[in-house]
Amino acid sequence: MHVKFGVIADLHVDIMPDGAARMQGFCEEAVRWGAEFLIHLGDMQYPEAEFLREADANGVEKAKQHSWFFCDRDDEKLEVKRLLRETGLPMYGVLGNHDMDACSKKATCRYWGMPSPYYSFVRGGLRFIALDTNHIVTEDGVLDFEVNNYRYYPGAQLSYLTSPQLKWLEEEILRSEEPCVLLSHAPLGDDLLCTKDRQEVWKILERVNADRRRVIFALNGHNHIDGMSVRRGVPFISINSASNIWIGHRYDAIRYSETISRLYPHIKGCAPYRDALFAFFEIDDETIRMTGRKTGFVGPSPQQLGFPKTSAYHEPVPFIRDRVLPVAALDGDGRIEEGQ
Ligand SMILES: [Fe+2]
């Protein structure tokens, strides 16, 4: 097996003043480096107004009323999609929680060209399994994330895979002729801001990896941090956001200019990264080789502002580490301490 691909997560075009420029950086580097395809790990952008209107006659009004970060800068969103198209590379995605802030899950899948909320694909002798961590568990049953309905439920009820998907996951791994990589938006290996039924995934790993190594690693976005956890010998890697870490409006700071802060009101609650972050992976039978990008924060860092250590499972940093991991079981359980 041999495969080379690029990964980007949590671009959040609706928050950032330079989302399209960040995407341009990723696309140019991916083509230069020789990526065979691209993966995005969710929370890229809300669909533009024309798409929302087509999906639902009142789609734009609903999005304005319910979504967190609605912006009407459709030119930037169209530019992001154009840049991706012009790479000529296939792109595969997972659903981020914010991807359904503005519309239904079905519409989001259509917008990103996904066959269904969870699915798998094979590239270069590896099977990538894209999971949907966006379910709400209520007393009356399971709900999909739709038009930001999850804001009305407590955190404990959010971010579930749920049993039908877990059953499908195990079957998909067992019938796969290729080793598998798990992709999700919310983490499956961390213990904070994570998928709530992740321990069911770890139990699946115990079973499917017992006689041979069927699942070799997992990638997630969502938490805008770089870090690695190990569960049942499998590395779970958090891919940092391309853009920022959200630290909340209690740490509001003017980091660009008053004008930009007015036009992009949510940027004040973020610690943005000066340059876009993304990662490239090259995998063969023995090694998972990962190359990340490094930059700095725009303005004060979360640490300088007193953002508590306990608010993030891994230390907030403006970079993605390089890692070289064996395609073999790793030691450890939970967060792995890594150097800078
Ligand atoms: Fe997210």
Residue pLDDT, tens place only, 127-180: 999 999 999 999 999 999 999 999 999 999 999 999 999 999 999 999 999 999
Q: Distance, CA 191 to ligand 1 centroid (Å)?
A: 15
Q: Distance, CA 9 to ligand 1 centroid (Å)?
A: 9
Task: Give 340's pLDDT tier (boundaries 50, 70, 90).
Answer: confident
In a domain, residue 60? The reply is yes
Task: Give 125's pLDDT tier (boundaries 50, 70, 90).
Answer: very high
Give pLDDT, residue 72: 81
Query: Which of 243, 278, 240 has its CA nearest to residue 264?
Result: 243
In a domain, residue 88? The reply is yes
Task: Give the C-alpha separation, 49 to 59, whole Å.
Answer: 8
Q: Distance, CA 139 to ligand 1 centroid (Å)?
A: 24
Q: Distance, CA 42 to ligand 1 centroid (Å)?
A: 7
Domain span at 51: 2-327
Q: Distance, CA 85 to ligand 1 centroid (Å)?
A: 24
Q: Distance, CA 98 to ligand 1 centroid (Å)?
A: 6
State the pTM of this model: 0.97
Burial 80-96 (b: 16+ CB within 10 A, else e): bbebbeebebebbbbbb
DSSP assigned state of 146: -
Question: How does pLDDT run across 229-261, given as a tens digit for each residue?
Answer: 999 999 999 999 999 999 988 888 888 999 998
Task: Give the C-alpha separation, 270 to 273, whole Å.
Answer: 9
Q: Distance, CA 301 to ligand 1 centroid (Å)?
A: 20
CATH (domain of 67) = 3.60.21.10
Structural domain count of the chain: 1
In a domain, residue 334? The reply is no
One DSSP character per residue, 32-96 reads HHT-SEEEE-S---PPPHHHHHHH-TTHHHHHHHH-SS----HHHHHHHHHHHHHTT--EEE---
Q: Distance, CA 189 to ligand 1 centroid (Å)?
A: 15
Radius of gyration of the chain, Cα coordinates, nearest whole angstrom: 19
Task: Give the C-alpha separation, 252 to 266, whole Å.
Answer: 9
Q: Distance, CA 299 to ligand 1 centroid (Å)?
A: 23
Q: Distance, CA 41 to ligand 1 centroid (Å)?
A: 9
**CB–CB of 109/95 below 8 Å?**
yes
Give pLDDT, residue 196: 96
In a domain, residue 340? The reply is no
